[in-house]
Amino acid sequence: MKQFITSMIILSLAWMSLTGCTKKKDLEADTLNLALSANVKGLDPAQAGDLYSNTVIAQIYERLFSYHYLKRPLSLEPRLADGMPVASKDGLTHTFKIKKGIKFQDDAAFPNGKGRELVAQDFIYAWKRVADPNVNSEGWWIFDNRIVGLNAWRDGMKDGKVTYDTVVEGMKATDSHTIQIKLIKPYYQLYYVLAMNYTAPIAKEAVEKYGKEFLNHPVGTGPYMLKSWVRNNKLELVANPNWAGQTYPTEGEEGDKEAGLLEDAGKKLPLIKKIVLREITEDQPRWLNFMKGNLDVAAIPKDNFDSSVVAGELTDEMKAKKIELIITEDPDVTYTAFNMDDPVLGKNKKLRQAMALAYNGEEVIKKFYNNRAIKAHSPIPPGVDGYEKGFSNPYKKFDVSKAKKFIEDAGFPEGKGLPTFEFMAGSSSTSRQMAEYFKENLKTIGINLTITQNSWPQFTKKIRERKGQIWGIAWGADYPDAENFLQLFYSRNASPGANGSNYENPKFDALYEKAALLPPGEERTAIYQQMRDIIVEDSPWIFGAHRLGYAVKHGWLKNYKPHRIIDDKMKYYKIDKDLKAKLKAKL
Amino acid sequence: MWKYVVRRTLYMIPILFGVTLITFLLFNVAGGDPAAQMAGKNATAERIEEIRVLYGFNKPIHMQYLDFVRQIVTFDYGRSISSKQKISTMIFGESPELSPVLTSLSLTLPAFLLTLLITISIALVLTVKRGSKLDKSVMVICLALLSFSSLVYILVGQKWLGYELGIFEISGWDPSWTERWRYLTLPTIIFVILSLGSNILFYRTIFLEEIFQDYVRTAKSKGLGQKVILFKHVLRNAMIPIITLVVIQMPFLILGALLTEAFFGIPGLGGLIFQALNEADFPVIRAMTVLITIMYMVFQLITDVLYSVVDPKVTLK
Amino acid sequence: MGSVNVSTHTIPVAEEGAKANRNSLWWDAYYRLKKDRIAVISFWVIVFYVLLAVGCRIGLLFPHFAETNDALSYAAPNANHWLGTDFLGRDVLARAAHGTYTSLLVGFFGSGLAVVIGTMFGALAGYFGGKVDDLIVWLYTTVSTIPYILLVIAFSFVLGAGLKVLCLVLGLTGWVGICRVVRGEYMKHRDREYVQACTAIGASHFRKAFIHILPNVTHLILIQFSLGFVGVIKAEVILSYLGLGVEAGTPSWGVMINDAAQELPREVWWGLAAATGFMFFLVLAFNLFNDALRDALDPKLKNK
């Protein structure tokens, strides 16, 4: 027994002496330190479904197109493509040239470990992977029923009748650096889609070498390479010496020059050689680490807002630390959805409108977004083609007396005769709090809610099985086109598709199908707005807000201009080392 | 003895059956829909159906259970349906440094042993000084420590000790063996404080129960000193309940501490389970449950064997 | 009384004997507790909480706990709101006071259900032994083998969330410890003379197990119930973190403490302070009382 105790003492002493040396390792000065608020799942472009995996993939892989870093509204520019593509008159055939001399990063998958040149076949291979049912890519929707012969190839893969070598009519490499795409019908979102990570070229050798572990061995053509990855903790990226390179843009939008965003114009990218991405899921540690200078930039969690921002500006205390506030318009919409299949909610337009009128949108924005959002009048957010500034939704007004009148017109004076509805909230505190507030709002016109909290799988399951009644959710843009939002009301997308409200309106459907065949332009925008008006009148949703991204960054981080859709951004960032040494000492 | 071990090992089979059946039924019949989950935000009905076929979710429920049993027997759990990572790697890691199991253990094991050492020592002192002012005040402190929620310790510890005073790292992790301790100090302290109260009370009760046994009276009448009685007799006899408690807690140590891991960003198994639950990642949940079950049973066996070692009166049959 | 005595005369005596022992144990415990100052104070603290909860419930105390006021969101403690307000402008003190009711309810029913299930299974296993025992031991080994948090979450998936479900979940997962204790006690008691005597006069199994033996183990069950009570109140906080707590809008300490994870950084400390303070004194009182209760009821420690 004594021995036991002695050994325990020795053990604990050893342990304490180890922990005693808490001397801080100096953070390398020229390293970008960022936080991801959820864990990265894997780094296979075909599986780039979630925001955080996507963020990392975008630094390692490149696509045919990307967006100009500074210009707003977003403007597409060629990345791996050599100039913009050539389209046939009917808009069905598109020919893409790809740049010569682009190399994959060095990797053991290649002969001698040296990265080989990128060819057109690498794109075709990657796109077929997205279509391959065995790869089970979340991105299949971007090609589904769009490209001649691809759906047939996909079905063929299920029965093992075709292979990757089988040529797909609508997706061919006509020579080593030319790709030809043939569409079934016009698809004007094609170029946007080709700026998404799903379509990044992939070297067949790498997939063959790593097999299912390919998701942990990214082999890209981009500015950075994965150096190490401690799962659920952090990823380290380093500059890729094989990268073909790019220079910092020389022009931006108004105000960029004043903001110092053009100081590095024309310089060779990337400006930072090493990136450390930490996966920190809880708000408190993320915020405290930023305040200590361990992170260069952090989104302000809702509840840190009051202590750091006053009337849209940072507090003096924060300013003294040279911390800067960055506000961006995120192309997204939050909304409260009604299940149109519900016998009471689905049949009563007036009832839905009454609920929309009772919803105090301004107060929600104040309480839950700290004014970091603008009121949504329609599903189409700013920065997206089809958005109309100044458009006003007649039901997007907090007007209790009008709401009371509407509910009377609907046949339920003061809510009499209405059942208690179930409102589905998520499992987080914020989601619950917002639900509580909505409940209070509806109480004023006599409507009762019970709130249930659901884990994300339960939440999606209920919506997909059409079992939900009312719920709160949001949609973020995949690309800057209103079509991406209006598809949420198309009846063929009803549950289990993305149209969780199960909204069905033949008139809307006809317009949707018509707009899909039109090129961007006034005619299409007019139809988008017609569709929007139908939605606004039918009110299958209560529109919430278009959120503004509020981030704080330390003074030493330069060239920081975020946008939700621009993901290949870290190559532009720069750290002012001297300033960092000076400022960090004071934190 | 070996016969006993074999019999106990065989007894694991019905338990394993029960555990797998319960977890399987609870999650597969009533949990989320993994196919809908995997299809993502732009899902279509056809896609969801395709995934069902691809992963066998469309099979009758008993066939799915048989698949699960097959996995247990072959120790092949396949891949997570959410991250598509290999489950054995997710649990055991590519190398010892990156192993989530060892990560969780490097938080919980030292903290656990430290707690054991501190609490047994304090409990012994309290036993000797039972009824004194010291005894009473320590008891009250223990009960007070028990009366806060664990979340409060974490929130306040991180903000005050980590951020305001800057004594410890706020959160984070370094996989290297020599560096990780830096990040573990604060979580370890919190872990110890969290378990201090209940453990001291438990051991004190155990020792008190022993000290009024006849053999202690006999030893006293023989003229043995207090120390000898305490260490040689009381502690030895109290070993059985102590071992029981210690060993029963062991398998759960590898689960880590859910809240502590989440708030301090320690990439252990606690976070893994939490994430799996949030993503309807049934294969991961199943693998973890089976792992814990097996560990639990093995440790039970160890307890029984240890009993016979510390107490000759116990024979294994 | 070494062997079974068949004469009808002695049986009531055996019964009486067991009863007298039982009563003296309770009286003894009562006098012990009465002498223990800490126990008495703790008892009154608990009574105070119960009265507070009842007062809140019937609308006598803090009737305006659900009143919201957009203008007063997150007001710091002041003369009108002694402990400030929450995000909806509701009075934090009132919410914390009403949280007492929720906590006591969850504690009582959660722990109560666990005791009922645990006692029933434990009694059956210990009393009958053999196959029944094997089956129940198998059941509780299985349940205790599944990590607690997984079990709780799994049950919540099946049953949903909310106050009733919370009690149910905590009851369904918390019975194992009690079952073990009760089973052990029954195994000791089933061969005692008074039980054999009952067999002799033809008492049914049910009668023996639940009318005759049960009262002799009640003190242990009471201790377990009281311990479970505290455990359940604390478990509510963790379940709230997982989004599995009481229904939104119901005042609860668990919810208040969890909201503090977001409120603390914006220097809103009163929600945390109120909930923690209320919980602290109740749990502390319970813990102190439990301790005294155990000492008073557990004959082994009698000569302390």
Q: Which residue has the tokens 């094609």?
A: A190
Return the pLDDT at C12. Answer: 45
Return the pLDDT at B309. Answer: 75
Q: Could you tell me which chain A residue has the CA closest to the CA of C265? A: A304
- Separation between Cα atoms, residue A526 and residue A385, nearest integer Å: 11
The highest-confidence range among A305-309, A370-374, B133-137, B150-154, by mean pLDDT, is B133-137
Q: Does B302 touch chain C (CB under 8 A)?
A: no
- Tell me the Ramachandran region of residue A32: left when phi exceeds 0, alpha when psi lies from -120 to 50, beta otherwise: beta
Listed in sequence order, the DSSP H helices in A375-418 are 400-409
Assign A136 to helix, strand or coil.
Answer: coil
Cα B214 off chain centre by: 36
Q: Does B50 touch chain A (CB under 8 A)?
A: yes
Q: Which amino acid is at A258?
A: E
Q: Does A360 touch chain C (CB under 8 A)?
A: yes
* 3-state secondary structure string across B265-288: CCCCHHHHHHHHHHCCCHHHHHHH
In terms of Cα–Cα distance, which of C278, C296, C224 is closest to C52? C278
Query: Does A533 or B282 have the greater pLDDT score?
Result: A533
At residue C275, does pLDDT exceed 60? Answer: yes
Return the pLDDT at C263. Answer: 77
Q: Which band of pLDDT confidence, cut at 50, 70 and 90, is reported for residue B300?
A: confident
Arithmetic mean of pLDDT, C21-46: 83
Q: For the CA atoms of chain B, what is the radius of gyration?
A: 24
Q: Could you tell me which chain A residue has the CA closest to the CA of B80? A: A41
* pLDDT tens, residue by residue, C135-178: 998 898 888 887 777 777 777 777 777 788 888 888 888 898 88
Interface contacts B/C by beta carbons within 8 Å: 114
The shortest C-alpha distance from B113 to chain C (Å) reads 21
Q: Which amino acid is at B154?
A: I
Q: What top-level class would CATH report for the domain C26-67+96-301?
A: mainly alpha
Count, residues in chain C: 304
The structural domains of chain B, with segments of one domain joined by +, span 2-92, 105-280
- Separation between Cα atoms, residue B35 and residue B55, nearest integer Å: 8
Q: Does B280 touch chain A (CB under 8 A)?
A: yes
In tens digits, chain A (587 residues) has pLDDT values of 445 545 545 555 455 444 444 334 444 678 999 999 888 999 999 988 788 999 999 999 999 999 999 998 889 999 999 999 999 988 899 999 999 999 999 999 999 999 999 999 999 999 999 999 999 898 999 999 999 999 999 999 988 899 999 999 999 999 999 999 999 999 989 999 999 999 999 999 999 999 999 999 999 999 999 999 998 999 999 999 999 989 999 999 988 999 899 999 999 999 999 999 999 988 888 888 999 999 999 877 655 555 566 556 677 888 888 898 888 887 889 999 999 999 999 999 999 999 999 999 998 888 887 777 889 999 999 888 889 988 999 999 899 999 999 999 999 998 899 999 999 998 888 888 899 999 999 999 999 999 988 888 788 888 888 989 999 998 888 888 999 999 999 999 998 888 999 999 999 999 999 998 888 889 999 999 999 999 999 999 999 999 887 888 999 999 999 988 899 999 999 999 999 988 888 88
Q: Does B176 touch chain A (CB under 8 A)?
A: no
At residue C254, does pLDDT exceed 70? Answer: yes
β-strand partners of A181: A94, A171
Q: Which residues of C, range 233-262, sit inside 8 Å of B by Cβ?
A: 234, 237-238, 241, 254, 257-258, 260-261
Q: Could you tell me which chain C residue has the CA closest to the CA of B149? A: C234
Chain B residues within an 8 Å CB radius of C288? 140, 143
At residue C265, does pLDDT exceed 90? Answer: no
Structure tokens, B289: 């449950």
Return the pLDDT at C1. Answer: 33
- Separation between Cα atoms, residue B309 and residue B239, nearest integer Å: 10
Nearest to B293 among C145, C258, C264 (CB): C145
- Tell me the Ramachandran region of residue A197: left when phi exceeds 0, alpha when psi lies from -120 to 50, beta otherwise: alpha
**Biggest alpha carbon–alpha carbon distance for chain B:** 85
Instruction: Identify whether the C-beta of residue A466 lies closer than 8 Å to the C-beta of residue A341.
Output: yes
**Gap between the terminal Cα atoms of chain C:** 30
What letter does residue C269 receive in the DSSP assignment?
-
Structure tokens, C178: 């009690």
Q: Does B141 touch chain C (CB under 8 A)?
A: no
- Separation between Cα atoms, residue B257 and residue A399, nearest integer Å: 49
Q: Which band of pLDDT confidence, cut at 50, 70 and 90, is reported for residue C69?
A: confident
* pLDDT tens, residue by residue, C28-40: 888 888 888 888 9
Structure tokens, A222: 């981009």
Asked if C265 and A302 come within 8 Å (Cβ–Cβ), the reply is no
Asked if A429 and C262 come within 8 Å (Cβ–Cβ), the reply is yes
**Biggest alpha carbon–alpha carbon distance for chain A:** 91
Domains in chain A (CATH in brackets) are 62-206 (3.90.76.10), 332-547 (3.10.105.10)
- Separation between Cα atoms, residue A150 and residue A163, nearest integer Å: 12
Supply the mean pLDDT for chain B.
83
β-strand partners of A268: A247
Instruction: Identify whether the C-beta of residue A332 lies closer than 8 Å to the C-beta of residue A381.
Output: yes
β-strand partners of A325: A552
Q: Does A453 touch chain C (CB under 8 A)?
A: yes
What is the DSSP pairing of strand A449-453 with strand A421-425? parallel
Q: Does C172 touch chain B (CB under 8 A)?
A: no
- Separation between Cα atoms, residue B287 and residue A224, nearest integer Å: 35
Nearest to B181 among A19, A292, A465 (CB): A19
Return the pLDDT at C272. Answer: 87
The shortest C-alpha distance from C121 to chain A (Å) reads 33
The predicted model scores a pTM of 0.83
Cα C287 off chain centre by: 11
Buried b (16+ CB within 10 A) or exposed e, A275-292: bbbbbbbbbbbbbbbbbe
* CATH 1.10.579.10 for the B105-280 domain, yes or no: no
The shortest C-alpha distance from B162 to chain A (Å) reads 9
Return the pLDDT at A214. Answer: 95
Q: Which region among A377-381, B227-231, C203-207 has the lowest average model confidence (pLDDT)?
A: B227-231
Arithmetic mean of pLDDT, C230-249: 82
Instruction: Identify whether the C-beta of residue A359 lies closer than 8 Å to the C-beta of residue A377.
Output: no
**Planar angle of CA B310, B314, B317, nearest 5 degrees:** 130
Asked if B50 and A21 come within 8 Å (Cβ–Cβ), the reply is no
Structure tokens, B244: 């029981």
At residue C187, does pLDDT exceed 80? Answer: yes
The structural domains of chain C, with segments of one domain joined by +, span 26-67+96-301
- Separation between Cα atoms, residue B303 and residue B249, nearest integer Å: 11
Task: Give the contacts of A287 (CB within 8 A, at least 6 positions apart).
Answer: A298, A300, A301, A304, C265
In terms of Cα–Cα distance, which of A339, A337, A329, A334 is closest to A376? A334
Other C-beta atoms closer than 10 Å to the C-beta of B151 total 22
Q: Does A362 touch chain C (CB under 8 A)?
A: no
Arithmetic mean of pLDDT, C203-216: 85
Asked if C264 and A287 come within 8 Å (Cβ–Cβ), the reply is no
Q: Does C42 touch chain B (CB under 8 A)?
A: no
